[in-house]
């Protein structure tokens, strides 16, 4: 009898130990336990520490409540100003409601990853390239709001979103480098020009001050000589008066003016001689043309006999003499000569 009681006690103790081992659960500090009893959600979420469930009836899922760091794969898109870029980011989130994270979504990590990728593509298309490069804080805030809106229903809270890198095409990088170089060159030139302007104003004031005292200019020259000689002792400095340079400059200008006047006079005489020769040639050609245009009748006139000579010839020889149209008398031999129209055109 006693043996049976001992055996029963040992069996009961063994069963209790097995039950205890099957029902005992330990929830860590950063975890929460969600118990599903016969498929239904229990009203209470188990906190950290030791807890018990009903074996075979309850099932407990542990949910990590720590902040999860999830990298978002690089997404390629076109910005609002038509530039192709590749942007990758990282999302920091945590579970604030363990029951919703288990019941409302199948895999909250995968869901958050997909929402982050689509939101990142959307934010690329709405932004300019300059905003992606220089105004990332504003883009990070907008991206966090876009991801956090659907994630709240899953019991997940987005802590922050950071855009890690923006990859540009090589052609765009070269263009931006040239633009930055040109901008810096422009700034350097503006600064240099401003410095020259200020220096010229100061030099003008110094020259005006020294013009009243000629000795000041000489002292300044001596100071310059001392400064040059202090750098290299082997250098020999000879001051050269500026007035001598001005005299030489005026002499050179006068010589150039005289040379220019002599050249102008020579060109004028040459033009006058050429014009006179041309006028002489024109006059000679005009005279030749006038001689060529003189009619043959004016170049050759038949001899005219007087009335007394005609009557004497008729009385002696009995020959009738014909008179010309202008009252003159032509001899019989002259009447046999051809008319002016019948003469050849090439008579001298």
Tell me the pLDDT tens digit for each residue of 268-317.
877 776 666 666 666 776 666 555 554 544 444 555 445 555 555 555 44
Q: What percent of the chain has pLDDT over 70?
A: 73
Q: Among residues 188, 206, 187, which one has the least CA distance to residue 198?
A: 206
pLDDT for 111-158, tens place per residue?
999 999 999 999 988 888 888 888 888 888 888 989 988 888 899 999
Quote the distance between the C-alpha of residue 319 and its chain's center. Answer: 115
Give, in order, the Cα–Cα distances in Å from 87 to each of 72, 73, 238: 9, 8, 68
Per-residue pLDDT at 165 exceeds 80: yes
Largest interatomic CA distance in the chain = 223
* CA pair distance 121, 136, nearest whole angstrom: 15
Which residue is listed with tokens 């804080």? 137
Q: What is the pLDDT of residue 332?
A: 52
More reliable by pLDDT, 344 or 68: 68
The two three-digit tokens of residue 35, written as one number: 């118990």
Put simply, whether the predicted model's pTM sits higher than 0.85 gets the answer no
Q: What is the pLDDT of residue 326?
A: 46
- H runs (alpha helix) in the chain: 2-23, 98-103, 108-126, 129-134, 136-151, 170-211, 214-231, 242-292, 296-299, 307-317, 332-335
The two three-digit tokens of residue 322, written as one number: 């014909």
Query: Hey, how many other C-beta atoms are within 10 angstroms of the C-beta on 129?
Result: 19
Query: For 2-16, 158-172, 268-282, 312-326, which range has the lowest pLDDT when averaged over its residues?
Result: 312-326
Q: What is the pLDDT of residue 45?
A: 85
* CA pair distance 147, 125, nearest whole angstrom: 16
Q: What is the pLDDT of residue 241?
A: 64
Query: For 107-121, 152-166, 205-219, 308-322, which range has the lowest pLDDT when averaged over its residues?
Result: 308-322
Q: Are 65 and 84 in contact (CB under 8 A)?
A: no
159-174: b or e for each residue (b if 16 or more CB lie within 10 Å)?
Answer: eebebeebebeeeeee
Q: What is the pLDDT of residue 234?
A: 67
């Amino acid at each position: 009898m006693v043996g049976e009681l001992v055996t029963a006690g040992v069996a009961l103790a063994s069963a209790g130990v097995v039950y205890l081992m099957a029902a005992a659960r330990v929830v860590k500090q950063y975890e929460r336990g969600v118990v599903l009893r016969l498929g239904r959600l229990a009203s209470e979420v188990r906190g950290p520490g030791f807890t018990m469930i009903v074996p075979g009836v309850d099932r407990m899922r542990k949910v990590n409540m720590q902040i999860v760091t999830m990298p978002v794969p690089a997404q390629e898109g076109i910005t609002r100003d038509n530039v192709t870029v590749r942007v990758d980011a990282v999302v920091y989130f945590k579970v604030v409601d363990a029951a919703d994270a288990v019941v409302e979504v199948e895999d909250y990590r995968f869901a958050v990853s997909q929402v982050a990728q689509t939101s990142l593509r959307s934010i690329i298309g709405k932004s300019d390239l300059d905003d992606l490069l220089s105004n990332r804080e504003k883009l990070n805030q907008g991206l966090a709001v876009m991801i956090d809106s659907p994630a709240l229903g899953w019991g997940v809270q987005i802590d922050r979103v950071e855009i890690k890198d923006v990859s540009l095409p090589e052609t765009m990088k070269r263009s931006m480098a040239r633009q930055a170089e040109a901008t810096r060159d422009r700034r350097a030139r503006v600064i240099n020009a401003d410095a020259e302007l200020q220096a010229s104003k100061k030099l003008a004031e110094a020259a005006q001050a020294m013009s009243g005292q000629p000795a000041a200019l000489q002292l300044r020259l001596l100071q310059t000589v001392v400064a040059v000689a202090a750098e290299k002792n082997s250098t020999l400095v000879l001051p050269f008066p500026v007035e001598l340079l001005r005299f030489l400059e005026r002499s050179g200008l006068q010589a150039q003016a005289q040379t220019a006047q002599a050249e102008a006079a020579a060109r004028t005489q040459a033009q006058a001689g050429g014009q006179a020769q041309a006028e002489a040639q024109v006059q000679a050609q005009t005279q030749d043309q006038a001689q060529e245009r003189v009619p043959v009748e004016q170049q050759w006139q038949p001899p005219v006999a007087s009335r007394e000579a005609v009557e004497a010839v008729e009385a002696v020889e009995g020959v009738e003499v014909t008179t010309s149209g202008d009252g003159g008398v032509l001899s019989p031999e002259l009447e046999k000569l051809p008319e002016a129209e019948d003469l050849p055109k090439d008579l001298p």
